[in-house]
Chain A
Amino acid sequence: MIAVHGSVLAQEIEIESPNIAYSAIYPILIVFGVALVGVLVEAFAPRPRRYVVQTVLAAAGLGLAFVGTVLVAGDLPETQNGLARGGIEAEGALAVDGPTLFIWGAILLLSFFSVLLFAERRLESGVTAFAGQAAALPGTEAEREASTRGLEHTEVFPLMLFAVGGMMLFPASNDLLTMFVALEVLSFPLYLLCGLARRRRLLSQEAAVKYFLLGAFASGFFLYGIALVYGYAGTVTLAGIDGAITNRVGGDGLLLAGIGLMAVGLLFKIGAAPFHAWTPDVYQGAPTAVTGFMAACTKVAAFGALLRVFYVAFGGAQWNWMPMMWIVAALTMGVGCVLTLTQTDVKRMLAYSSIAHAGFLLTGFVGVQAATRDSDDMTSLVAVMFYLLAYGFTTLGAFAVVTVVRDSSGEATHLSRWAGLGKQSPVLAGVFALFMLAFLGLPATSGFMAKWAVFTSAWAGDAQLLVIIAVLASVITAFVYIRVIVLMFFADPVGEGPTVAMPSVLTVVTIAAGVVVTVALGVAPQPVLDLAHQAGEFVR
């Protein structure tokens, strides 16, 4: 072995120019490009102009990237006997296929509305909800000065675009190293964004540090898993790993340990138990706009990657990892829904609810149902992608509502402060109630269709027991959501009650988008289901 490696150095290596199909991957490049331009704007544009320039730039960039995604999706070639569409691009680093593009579209749409939330200025009387000067210590003279001078960090926009770029890269990665890089690219900006709240800065900074430490820890597991899988298969490309598993090259211990450790990294990102502990703390501490962005987009990206790795690379070993994922899914739903019961803070409650939803999504994931040529039944992929889109919009809308319920110290996130909101502002409380009902899965909301899709595909994939657990769990969570509705409409306000600040058109548009999608996907889900269906399987 050593001798062979030694001779490689001496050989004359013929290097060919790599072939990069820019026409297939330019949506990612647009996002990264705009993010870089954003950095330049920070460097050279005068301070008063930055906010407007950054907002327009970010929104336009995301919009452009979305248009690009649609165009790319328009002429995807069919492969694998018509089961999949798309191809492997950039020398095997990226898989640009139907599911990738669907996920890109979802991420871009959700992040577009997140930008609007980021840009909201009216709620904090003229500045954004991000810290004026993050470097100033909380409670010091420097902080007060930054606040009186009306400083704000417009870096959040490029940071967010970098994160979006990473999120697009993550589920599109066709080899494990690209996937690891993407994971870091999407994570680092998020760590920073979490610590930039204008109010309750200590809580926010604590959240950022926690998220960073645990995230780094999880990345370590992920990387170690990659190493072990490489040790097993001798390659990091997904197709290569699949080939090695199919041919049973031996060394199952390496493979299984590798799968387990990689699963840890991915399950951390989606917030599945027992790797969920960061979720409530981070969701609570981060600026609410960031929380909404994370809850919606990170989940989409991480699930995309999870699906790709486990279906494409580890598909041949599914009987090995399936029992583990069963248990994780059941545990996640259990922890998520039971702990939601005792939360007293809106953001923490939504965090635990997101854990429960991760469990429902895992249920769909576990029902591994691949498309075959003859039938076009609901596959797991279709169901999970639909769920992600539906849940993303609902949760983003819910967090947007959280930003406008305020008292003198900023957002009034303690649930007791929400008592009597229905009398104060029936429309807003009604909208939040709609989101709660969608989380609960009431028919004619997107939540029902999403759960229905996921559960039926899981049931058809012989995960009946898990579906029963999932249905039970959704019964338990019903209690929580109903409690919130009761609190808003039937309880008397404590003290002088919450005030509902009138946000600018930006937040209103985001909330409206949440409402429209939540209702539309509940009543007429067919176009989106069709779209997810046309996306086909992953390319291999």
Chain B
Amino acid sequence: MSPMTALPVLSETASAVAPAQAGGVYSLLWLVVALPAVSAAILLLGGRSTNAWGHLLGCAAPIASFALGVLMFVSLLTRDAHDRAIEQHLFDWITTGSYDVDAGLLLDPLSMLFVLLITGVGSIIHVYSIGYMAEDPRRRRFFGQLNLFVAAMLLLVLGSDYLVLFVGWEGVGLASYLLIGFWQHKHSAATAAKKAFVVNRVGDMGMALAVMLMFATFGTTSFVGVSAAAEGASTATLTALGLLLLLGACGKSAQVPLQSWLLDAMEGPTPVSALIHAATMVTAGVYLVTRSNFIFNEAPTAQTAVVIVGLVTALWGAIIGCAKDDIKKALAGSTMSQIGYMHLAAGLGPIGYAFAIFHLLTHGFFKANLFLGAGSVMHSMNDEVDMRRYGGLAPLMPITFLTFAMGYLAIIGFPLFSGFWSKDLILEAAFAENLVVGFGALLGAGITAFYMTRVMLMTFLSPKRWADDVHPHESPRVMTVPLLVLAALSAVGGVLYLGGWVVDWLTPVVGEEHPELGVPVWVISLAAVAVVAAGVAVAWVLVAKRDVPREAPVRVSVFTTAARADLFGDALNEAVFMRPGQHLTRSLVYVDNRGVDGTVNGLGGLIGGASGRLRRLQTGFVRSYALTMVAGAFVVVVALLAANLS
């Protein structure tokens, strides 16, 4: 038995109630997805004629979806807690007798929260982008792709079937790929986009196999069907499913060992980093694990794996965040780390699902806030991203500074800010389950406090280090207003937990279980605050009390070197996957083109002594092809005979 399965005392499992059919306001559910999709189509296919008003349409679509989402949310609130799942059937996608896939949407408390997060934060970031991308001649296309992303992400969270989810899953991958590489002229952007796509394919492989396994064992891939079938399935099957889904989640959410793409993804425009690579898309893995709670609850081994992945990533990302001088990469490390926390919580089972989602929401607020703040800084610093060239910006850009500070306080878990509540709950759950996990998570919180304080100090407070030709200035209103909204959300996002609301809200979907702690809850809170304070203090001593050099020091400890190199994630990938792959490719090419020929020509050379053997080493001789065919035929026949007649 794994240590993660300590017996719950109070527990209520999610009940699989057949969702109601969509009527009333819910019959507009398809519009939530369709609006941004149509807008994307108009903007991407419309050509230059849409340049003038493209960005306005691009903003209107997610805002309209958000408005619809709010309507539905209010309507859901009035319904009975166990009657909050609404399904809308769109059309029969695949029908083959016993196996049917409906292209359908499912709105339940879990997807409702995601819809609000995606369209809400998405709308804010769209508005911000009007200002951020104002100078870019391809702004309309940017908005088109951003809308495409929103539509795909909404499909991902609203799909009522794993296969529909998979369509959204690949859709967000494609949109993310396009947007990372949006600045095509930069070679690094193109490389980063490609890397993101390919690494994600590894995760997608897990997803695809999981869906296929579901189909093969349960004969269905709909959430309702699988959750009903999972009760009677064997633990081995469920464990395999859980691990495959986890692989998918790792790819999309940049968890170890598929984390390497996220840091490079920062090549994309900053609003993209905020929306896709911080607030929404990268949290799809957490959504997947939470949505599949009916699988993970019955597969303790898979849950343990989720917790380990989450914990390792939480620390991994935090350590990377400490060493990065690029402000966006430091924030990206922190994103990895925070999503690690969410996975950790989700891996704990019903005790943690709601906390994971709660942290996901607050993280969506404060991380979008931080990224947009970073974008605002870059905007005024001629797109400089190196924090060693910043410093002393607080008085010059007060709104950015203050809003960034709100996000900062939220992420380190300063008491009463949103991150404080959500992280605290995760720590509680972690300590309740396992001491090692609990202390690991606590350590992560301390490191988070350290590197975020470092970012804060180096950017806004320490003496100025920028060149004379840079003229920092506050960003335009269209950028600062979104910052203010997000800052407010970062500060007061904790209200979602008022009276345990978010947990109660999610209970019908994910079940509920209260952590049983050996010590009073306030002990943990106090410990967390103390660790955070220690982290801040260390940063103060190490950063604020010394001069920050404009160039990164070369002679540093091995630990810094390792962290700067993303803990050798890329090197590992290269050594374990790429090199053998390249060798394999090379040798196969060699055998295919030259090996056979070489043998033939070697023999020919021995016998005939013909000249120009070098020329003959060229590829493409029919005789060598024929020889492969003979060899192949020989092997096929002999194998057939040997296998069957022995």
A and B touch in the complex (CB under 8 A): yes
Which one of A214, A459, A475, A482 lies within 8 Å of B212 (CB-CB)? A459
Is the CB–CB distance between A217 and B640 below 8 Å? no
Q: Mark A226-264, 1 if CB is under 8 A from B, else 0.
A: 000000000000000000000000001100110111011
Given A324-B636, A456-B212, A475-B201, A256 and B644 touching (CB < 8 A)? yes
Q: How far is the CB of B249 from chain A (nearest CB, A)?
A: 17
Residue among A221, A259, A342, A443 facing the most chain B CB atoms (10 A cut-off): A443
Q: How far is the CB of A317 from chain B (nearest CB, A)?
A: 9
Given A260-B640, A475-B205, A339 and B592 touching (CB < 8 A)? yes
Q: Mark A365-378, 1 if CB is under 8 A from B, else 0.
A: 00000000001111
Given A217-B629, A257-B640, A274-B628, A342 and B589 touching (CB < 8 A)? yes
Which one of A217, A257, A268, A443 lies within 8 Å of B637 (CB-CB)? A257
Q: How far is the CB of B582 from chain A (nearest CB, A)?
A: 9
Q: How far is the CB of A273 from chain B (nearest CB, A)?
A: 8
- Chain B: number of interface residues, binned into ranges: 35 or more
Given A443-B171, A475-B202, A277 and B166 touching (CB < 8 A)? no
Q: Quick check: is A335 within 8 A (CB to CB) of the other chain?
A: yes
Q: Quick check: is A489 within 8 A (CB to CB) of the other chain?
A: yes
Is the CB–CB distance between B212 and A467 below 8 Å? yes
Is the CB–CB distance between B97 and A456 below 8 Å? no
Give bound CA distance, A439 to B194, whole Å: 17
B-facing residues in A461-491 (Cβ within 8 Å): 464, 467-468, 471-472, 474-476, 478-479, 482-483, 486, 489-491
Is the CB–CB distance between A281 and B620 below 8 Å? yes
Q: How far is the CB of B521 from chain A (nearest CB, A)?
A: 45
Q: Which residues of A contact B645 (CB under 8 A)?
A: 252-253, 256
Q: Which residues of B contact A448 (CB under 8 A)?
A: 170
Is the CB–CB distance between B584 and A338 below 8 Å? yes
Q: How far is the CB of A126 from chain B (nearest CB, A)?
A: 31
Is the CB–CB distance between B96 and A378 below 8 Å? yes
Q: How far is the CB of A435 from chain B (nearest CB, A)?
A: 15
Is the CB–CB distance between B184 and A489 below 8 Å? yes
Q: How far is the CB of B264 from chain A (nearest CB, A)?
A: 14
Q: Which residues of B contact A321 (CB under 8 A)?
A: 640
Q: Mark A48-80, 1 if CB is under 8 A from B, else 0.
A: 000000000000000000000000000000000
Q: Which residues of A contact B586 (CB under 8 A)?
A: 342
Q: Which residues of B contact A459 (CB under 8 A)?
A: 212-213, 215-216
Which one of B204, B581, B628, B640 lies within 8 Å of A259 (CB-CB)? B640
Q: Which residues of A contact B205 (CB under 8 A)?
A: 471-472, 474-475
Is the CB–CB distance between A456 and B215 below 8 Å? yes
Give bound CA distance, A221 to B635, whole Å: 13
The DSSP consensus for interface residues of chain A is: helix
Q: How far is the CB of A431 from chain B (nearest CB, A)?
A: 12
Given A264-B632, A460-B216, A483 and B194 touching (CB < 8 A)? yes
Is the CB–CB distance between B93 and A260 below 8 Å? no
The DSSP consensus for interface residues of chain B is: helix
Is the CB–CB distance between B641 and A526 below 8 Å? no
Q: Quick check: is B94 within 8 A (CB to CB) of the other chain?
A: yes
Q: How far is the CB of B596 from chain A (nearest CB, A)?
A: 9
Given A323-B643, A377-B96, A341 and B585 touching (CB < 8 A)? yes
Q: Which residues of B contact A382 (CB under 8 A)?
A: 96
Is the CB–CB distance between A490 and B633 below 8 Å? no
Is the CB–CB distance between B99 and A378 below 8 Å? yes
Q: Quick check: is A202 within 8 A (CB to CB) of the other chain?
A: no
Q: Which residues of A contact B185 (CB under 8 A)?
A: 492
Is the CB–CB distance between B633 and A377 below 8 Å? no
Q: How far is the CB of A427 from chain B (nearest CB, A)?
A: 10
Give bound CA distance, A331 to B181, whole Å: 35
Is the CB–CB distance between B166 and A443 below 8 Å? yes
Q: Which residues of A contact B181 (CB under 8 A)?
A: 486, 489-490
Q: Which residues of B contact A482 (CB under 8 A)?
A: 177, 194, 197-198
Q: Which residues of A contact B174 (CB under 8 A)?
A: 437, 442
Give bound CA distance, A259 to B639, whole Å: 12
Is the CB–CB distance between B636 and A342 below 8 Å? no
Q: Which residues of A contact B190 (CB under 8 A)?
A: 486, 490-491
Q: Which residues of B contact A299 (CB under 8 A)?
A: none
Given A252-B644, A459-B215, A210 and B189 touching (CB < 8 A)? no
Given A275-B629, A277-B628, A526-B93, A253 and B98 touching (CB < 8 A)? no
Q: Which residues of B contact A335 (CB under 8 A)?
A: 588, 592
Residue among B166, B589, B632 facing the most chain A CB atoms (10 A cut-off): B632
Q: Quick check: is B622 within 8 A (CB to CB) of the other chain?
A: yes
Q: Quick check: is B95 within 8 A (CB to CB) of the other chain?
A: yes
Give bound CA distance, A85 to B134, whole Å: 63
Is the CB–CB distance between A490 and B592 below 8 Å? no
Q: Quick check: is B626 within 8 A (CB to CB) of the other chain?
A: yes
Q: Mark A166-179, 1 if CB is under 8 A from B, else 0.
A: 00000000000000
Q: Quick check: is A90 within 8 A (CB to CB) of the other chain?
A: no
Is the CB–CB distance between A376 and B96 below 8 Å? yes
Q: Mark B602-646, 1 if CB is under 8 A from A, else 0.
A: 000000000000000000101011101101110111011101110
Q: Mark A117-134, 1 if CB is under 8 A from B, else 0.
A: 000000000000000000
Q: Which residues of B contact A327 (CB under 8 A)?
A: 639
Which one of A375, A478, A491 lies within 8 Å of B198 (CB-CB)? A478
Q: Which residues of A contact B91 (CB under 8 A)?
A: 524
Q: Quick check: is A286 within 8 A (CB to CB) of the other chain?
A: no
Which one of A268, A377, A525 lies within 8 Å of B629 (CB-CB)? A268
Give bound CA distance, A236 to B95, whole Å: 38
Among residues of A, the one whose C-beta sits closest to the C-beta of B166 is A443
B-facing residues in A355-413 (Cβ within 8 Å): 375-378, 382
Q: Quick check: is A209 within 8 A (CB to CB) of the other chain?
A: yes
Which one of B216, B626, B636, B639 lies within 8 Å of A217 (CB-CB)? B626
Is the CB–CB distance between A455 and B212 below 8 Å? yes
Q: List 8 A-B contacts (CB under 8 A).
A: A256-B637, A264-B636, A339-B585, A341-B585, A342-B585, A342-B586, A455-B208, A478-B197
Query: Ordered nearest first, which 6 A-B pairs have the shortest CB separation?
Result: A490-B190, A376-B97, A274-B632, A260-B637, A277-B625, A443-B167
| B binding-site residues for A, Cβ under 8 Å | 91-99, 163, 166-167, 169-171, 174, 177, 181, 184-185, 187, 189-190, 193-194, 197-198, 201-202, 204-205, 208-209, 212-213, 215-216, 581, 584-586, 588-589, 592, 620, 622, 624-626, 628-629, 631-633, 635-637, 639-641, 643-645
User: Given A256-B640, A471-B208, 18 more contacts at CB 8 Å?
Assistant: A256-B637, A260-B641, A273-B632, A274-B628, A281-B625, A320-B640, A339-B585, A375-B97, A377-B98, A443-B170, A444-B170, A452-B163, A455-B208, A456-B215, A474-B205, A475-B201, A475-B205, A478-B198
